[in-house]
Amino acid sequence: MLTIHDIINQYNELAMIDHLGQASWNIMEPRMRQNKLLFGERPLCTVVRPLFHTRRGWDYLSERTEILLNVFSKASEAMLADAELRAQVRLTPLEEELVRIPTGYRTTIPTARLDSFFARHEDGRVNLSFVEFNGESPAGMAYGDVMAEMFLDLPIMRQFQEKYHVQPIMARRSAMDALLNIYHEWCGNQTQLPAIAIVDWYGVPTTTEFHLFAEYFGRHGIVGVVCTPDQLDYRNGRMYADGRPVDFIYKRVLSTELLGRYGVDHPIVHALRDGAICMANPFSCKILHKKASFAFVSDERNAHLFTPLERVTIDTHVPWTRVIEERFTVNNKGEHVDLLLWASRNKDHLVIKPNDDYGGAGVLIGWEASDNEWNQALQQGLETPMIVQERVEIAYEPFPFVDATGDIYVGRRLVDCDPFLFHGDTVGGCLVRLSSVTLLNVTAGGGSVVPAFIVDEK
């Protein structure tokens, strides 16, 4: 039986034959600029192979993800209904105020992303570990789709398809459907189309993706306006984006940054309170976006909220996580321990993350830190909300890339595999990031993004 490793090796060998890798890269580099596949000014992709899944492998990843999506949906609903439970994720007072604003639709998770490492071994073993829930404004959906279309037209992929069927794993359609679902529920009209403002700060590196989404919306008859929070104006019960009336906010700006600049005195907040706009994602998504949501679902105090199957899935795929605080708890071996003392003595198996940050900011990797650095971070976590999380197995795979001299090589890259989630119940599409260093994050200034494909032998 052909394995995923056989498929990868055959593709990588093609890259080395008859200059297929170099020829494909020579097409990719200018097309990425033409197609807005840029993070800031740099091309998103630096390798000449997508991530491959067998159909069985993708089905396994999707099924595990959907179970955990239900877990996080339950957690969100429980916390929205109970302020004491909600306190476990350490919302700020202003965030507490915002999460209580009605959304006008039922789901608490219109769009989201579960970030994971999916390690696939030569002997057939797999290890799937989810490490973060991106519940606010998950990026990468349009990037991945456009990049997949580009890959399908490369010489190396055309030759690869002589032996294999390939199916790109797309996300934009599912994202648009999820946005339309909540909009129709909000306005009570199943045929009306929204006018959408895609909102984030001027000059953020993902601006090119906003324009890709606006173009995609336009192809389906939906007005899409890219604007900044400063270009929104709410007057006489109507929201305007750069002077154009809109009734849907696709909020890519993070709530923390919006609150940091405006507090709750912003047109988005005023219009939401009046029920004048529909917004995705809602402010209530902050509950799951906090990294403490992983502590919530893995904490023994909350096990009663989940079914036996869900608890097994949590134990198998969610790393042990706790908010840093002075308490006794059950550790990852089932032992009752003093949390701070145990975490101090076991740094080689743990990481510390800020409760609410992105781009890898503030992450401390225990096995790369000194004892002093680690203990200082634990003490800081008592003052500023942070989590401590169990070390997981990181996935690595070989990818062909072209160096600065134009030579083709195959090098090992760290891989994360991040399924997109829609309407609180569906998996569709997948962000894939590569890196040569432990901290894998494109925003942090390194790494690469590739599309994902399901591969079947002809």
| Cα–Cα distance measured from residue 188 to residue 278, given in angstroms and rounded to the nearest whole number | 12
3-state secondary structure 7-20: HHHHHHHHHHCCCH
The pLDDT of residue 440 is: 47
Tokens 């390194």, residue located: 446
Under the banding of pLDDT at 50, 70 and 90, the label for residue 445 is: very low
The pLDDT of residue 439 is: 52
pLDDT of 402-435, one tens digit each? 887 878 999 999 999 999 999 988 999 999 999 8
In this prediction, residues 175-189 reach a mean pLDDT of: 97
The pLDDT of residue 405 is: 82
CA atoms within 13 A on the CB side of 300: 11
pLDDT of 317-338, one tens digit each? 999 999 999 999 999 999 999 9
In contact, 225 and 195? CB cutoff 8 Å: yes
In contact, 318 and 64? CB cutoff 8 Å: no
Under the banding of pLDDT at 50, 70 and 90, the label for residue 115 is: very high
The pLDDT of residue 1 is: 75
Under the banding of pLDDT at 50, 70 and 90, the label for residue 374 is: very high
Predicted model pTM: 0.93
Say if strands 232-235 and 321-323 run parallel, antiparallel, or are unpaired. Answer: unpaired
Q: Tell me 458's DSSP state.
A: -
pLDDT at 444 over 80: no
Under the banding of pLDDT at 50, 70 and 90, the label for residue 19 is: confident
Residue 190's nearest CA partner among 198, 199, 200, 181 is 181
- Cβ partners under 8 Å of residue 324, min gap 6: 339, 340, 343, 352, 378, 381, 382, 385, 386, 387, 388
Under the banding of pLDDT at 50, 70 and 90, the label for residue 359 is: low
The pLDDT of residue 204 is: 92
pLDDT at 437 over 80: no
Between 207-219 and 141-152, two packed helices, what is the crossing angle to 10 degrees?
80
pLDDT of 262-271, one tens digit each? 999 999 999 9
Under the banding of pLDDT at 50, 70 and 90, the label for residue 221 is: very high
The pLDDT of residue 406 is: 79
Q: 38 versus 235: which is more confidently predicted?
A: 235
For CA atoms 443, 320, 384, 69, give the dihedral sign. Answer: positive
In this prediction, residues 293-314 reach a mean pLDDT of: 97
SS3 279: strand
